[in-house]
Amino acid sequence: MVNYELIILGQGSAAFAAAIKADELGVDTAVVGGNATKGTVIGGTCVNVGCVPSKRLITVGTLFHEAMNPPFGGIKYGEGRVEFGRVIREKDRLVSKLRKEKYEDVLKNLRHVTYYRGTGRFVSRNRIEVGKEILQTDKVLVATGARANLPSIEGIGEVDCLTNEEALSLRKLPDTLCVIGGRALGLEFAQMYAQFGANVVLLQRSERILPEDEPEVSSALTGYLREMGVRVFAGAKIVRVAQKENKKWVDFNAGGKSNRIICDHILVATGRKPNTEELNLDKAGVRTDDKGFVIVNGEMRTTSPNIWAAGDVVGEPMLETLAARQGFVAVNNAFTTQKRRIDLNQVPSAVFTYPEVAKVGLTESKAHEKKLKCSCVVLPLEFVPKAQVTGDTRGLVKLVVESETKRIVGVHMVAPHAADLIHAGVLAVKNGLTIDDIIDTVHVFPTLSEAFKLAAQSFYSDIRKLSCCTE
């Protein structure tokens, strides 16, 4: 039996952030790397089958689509083509490079951390079984992540459906693709494959895509996807899926009509489920919710003494940077007297379509639920001079503002590079800034970041009647 001060179950963002913090504190730590997400190795979901490979392919697809559809009449390109297999091989090389540099090499340099290959299981609150070995510890961090969840649809067990893992490694570009799911993952893959030239149909069960986002955001993005050629069906009830030889089909009802989509591939993007089934959490007194996600408080403590959890295994929102922050907070709280908490209201998120979607803070409906008297304004991107300059005026900015104090409580964007632009909104929400604080801040002209200031100014003035240089 080997003794450690801390055992970390997992090898993704939460686990690595936790291990780095533990090493910094001089905590004798074991990282047990295995989990149930089949496509992951060291580094977890993000670098292997998540953010890194998907955003690489999205970037390549966007560049190709823009080259074939330039916004300026004075530019003409010849006929373009995609060497899809080469695009995938280059993506694989990038993933391997970052996995080595950001995870394998980092792990080697952690003096107080020992890595174990294999899946860890609780024997008791302070004992973990890894293969034939038993590790004993004072404290445990559960950071085993999550994996794709296949919904209960007739025939789905008999069809070779894609999840995000397989969809990142196709060697041949499909002619037709049906995407089931209209949240971040489904939208990103739908648009990416459409940009490469595939015929894409997207089916969303709720009455609009991104149902938790602002309605203006959902409506705008739906229009942009349809302009690109993606056939979007909201309010779609899937009846069955089936397969015969190399062709698959999906029967569904939408708009009061029965429909059938015949396609090369079906991509299922209907959420994720936690990697908790094999952990024997009951032996450690760790409770989960009805979906299997580990229950934690704001300090990332579970229901069991001296056991913490972080990352996708604790549920939504599932974000790489949030997972890392949670892992850091868990170890900080486990081994120092300075207790930290996670405030999800200050955590931004993005959907990497193009234009991108980004948000932080409260939506208008959530503000009303909290009994806040709020005012909202929506600024179309066409009123931002830089958008006119670049020839791409798709998008909007919506601010949710507390009426009496003028404090900004929510920022929501659809815009090129919205994932980069949102951080001004994050600082505003985190620090309780007002629209006057934003207006009083000098911005560079012309930039897309001016959209935030113009949206703030529109609370007082009609932006259409102002000069570009109005302060």
pLDDT grade, residue 81 (50/70/90)? confident
Q: Would you say how long the chain is, in residues?
A: 471
Best CA proximity match to 207, nearest among 270, 261, 255, 152: 255
Say whether domain 2-148+273-342 belongs to CATH 3.40.50.2300: no
Residue 193 falls in which region: left (phi positive, over 0), alpha (psi -120 to 50) or beta: alpha
Quick: pLDDT tens for 123-152: 999 999 998 999 999 999 999 999 999 999
Residue range(s) in the chain whose domain bears CATH number 3.30.390.30: 346-463
pLDDT grade, residue 70 (50/70/90)? confident
72 has pLDDT over 90: no
Whether pTM > 0.95 for this model: the answer is no
Residue range(s) in the chain whose domain bears CATH number 3.50.50.60: 2-148+273-342, 156-270
3.40.50.2000, 3.30.390.30, 3.90.180.10, 3.40.50.300: which CATH number matches 346-463? 3.30.390.30
Quick: pLDDT tens for 325-377: 999 999 999 999 999 999 999 999 999 999 999 999 999 999 999 999 999 99
Q: Worst-scoring range by mean pLDDT, 41-50, 390-399, 438-447?
A: 41-50
Q: Which CATH code is given to the segment(s) 156-270?
A: 3.50.50.60
- Side-chain half-sphere of 64: how many Cα atoms within 13 Å? 21
Best CA proximity match to 144, nearest among 14, 326, 244: 14
pLDDT grade, residue 36 (50/70/90)? low
